[in-house]
Amino acid sequence: MEISLSRQQQKPKQRECLSPRRPWRWQRLIPALTLILFLTGWEMVVRIGDYPAFILPSPLDVGRKLISVSLDGTLWRHMGVTLVEVLAGLSLGTVVATIFGYALSRSAVIDRAISPYLVASQAIPVVAIAPLLVIWFGPGLFSKILISALIVFFPILINTSAGVRGVSPDLRDLMRSLHATRWQTFAKLEVPAAAPVLLAGLKVGATLSVIGAVVGEFAGARAGLGVMINIADGQYDTARMFVGVLALVVMALTLYGIVNWLEKHLLAWRAPENGGSRL
């Protein structure tokens, strides 16, 4: 009898431990409900204010324009160009920033020699030098990739440097006591330890890369969502401008979601935040 009572007392405790970890189903609907409320409010503002379409189009006008530019291929052509610029700029900026960030964290001489110039470079807005880069490298893809890489570079560099410097000295001493090689220390200790901070910087860089590509297209380009928005602006086609902005938002959210997915899978080895073991 005492054993059966103790088992009955343990079951509610197990349920209490499991229930907080399961998100409520209605919470998954919050983003969709928020979007519906936003679109409803937008439609009401247009109707109450009686704004003309060239000032503030309604969601229905934007939806019709989205279907129109999708069917004639205009959206996909410009979006494809911008996506190539974003992915190439993000890749280039991430690789170079990771190399420099690791070098800064491991060498005090390089840190003192380069850090002041890197910090000073952030005082120069990319918008200000984008036209100059377009003049130097032309209105093709390379100038947009370079601008996107420049805007991605600094946050990833800082996060990489902070992540490597944050490795515990005790763990480094442990690797030395095990006679680990330089490569083994890098692969088995520094990379896993810096990965959370590096991926956090990559989230920021993924969204900034979209901004960098569009800034370059505004400065001068033959195709891309920035060009599409510029043309629509000159034609007072505000609905088309909204479609271009919406495409940029979707692109940024998709890249952020991919990095978030990578973070969850690559860092699955970490212990749960609230303690306890994974079930």
| pLDDT average, residue stretch 165-172 | 79
How far, in Å, CA of 277 to CA of 271, rounded? 7
Q: For the beta carbon of residue 68, count every other beta carbon within 10 angstroms.
A: 14
State yes or no: pLDDT of 61 exceeds 70. Answer: yes
How far, in Å, CA of 255 to CA of 203, rounded? 8
Give residue 245's pLDDT band: very low, low, confident or very high (50, 70, 90). very high
State yes or no: pLDDT of 94 exceeds 70. Answer: yes
State yes or no: pLDDT of 86 exceeds 90. Answer: yes
Q: Position of tokens 């969850």?
A: 264
CATH class of 58-266: mainly alpha
Q: What is the pLDDT of residue 272?
A: 52
How far, in Å, CA of 39 to CA of 37, rounded? 6
Q: What is the pLDDT of residue 126?
A: 82
Distances in Å between the Cα of 273 and the Cα atoms of 57, 101, 194, 278 are 45, 28, 18, 10
Task: Check: CB of residue 270 under 8 Å from CB of residue 199.
Answer: no
> What is the three-state SS of the chain?
CHHHHHHHHHHHHHHHHHHHHCCCHHHHHHHHHHHHHHHHHHHHHHHHHCCCCCCCCCHHHHHHHHHHHHHCCHHHHHHHHHHHHHHHHHHHHHHHHHHHHHHHHHCHHHHHHHHHHHHHHCCCCHHHHHHHHHHHHCCCHHHHHHHHHHHHHHHHHHHHHHHHHCCCHHHHHHHHHCCCCHHHHHHHHHHHHHHHHHHHHHHHHHHHHHHHHHHHHHHCCCCCHHHHHHHHHHCCCHHHHHHHHHHHHHHHHHHHHHHHHHHHHHCCCCCCCCCCCCC
Q: What is the pLDDT of residue 1?
A: 44
Give residue 14's pLDDT band: very low, low, confident or very high (50, 70, 90). very low
All structural domains of the chain with their residue ranges: 58-266
pTM: predicted TM-score of the whole model, two decimal places: 0.78
Scored b (16 or more CB within 10 A) or e, 153-164 reads: bbbbbbbbbbbb
How far, in Å, CA of 130 to CA of 143, rounded? 8
Per residue in 127-136, pLDDT (tens digit) is 888 888 888 8
How far, in Å, CA of 130 to CA of 126, rounded? 6
Least confident interval from 38-52, 145-159, 172-186, 261-275? 261-275
Per residue in 169-227, pLDDT (tens digit) is 787 777 788 777 788 888 788 888 888 888 888 888 888 899 989 988 888 888 889 88
